Amino acid sequence: CTDSIQFEKQISKLRFNLAKRALLFSENAAVSLYSAIYIFEVEVDNITRIVEGIRYGKDSSYMESLIIT
């Protein structure tokens, strides 16, 4: 179970990094728009994880492990 969670997190990191790269280097407006929207969604999810971690009194290292960068 833990392996599948780690795998999903690595895939999410990969998609996030690819979206950042596409936003920087793409000349196609649709690709840039999709990349920006995906990055914004990830950032909102990260903020939600932080807020919920604080709400439930989780350790900062645990919250940091949940954030996609």
Residue 2, pLDDT score: 80
Answer yes or no: are the C-beta atoms of 53 and 62 closer than 8 Å.
Answer: yes
Q: How far apart are CA 25 and CA 48, in angstroms?
A: 29
- Position 1 pLDDT exceeds 90: no
Mean pLDDT over 3-25 rounds to: 93
CA distance 4 to 29: 34
pTM (predicted TM-score)? 0.85
Q: b/e per residue, 35-50, with b = 16+ CB within 10 A? A: beebbeebeeebeebb
For residue 21, give the DSSP letter: H
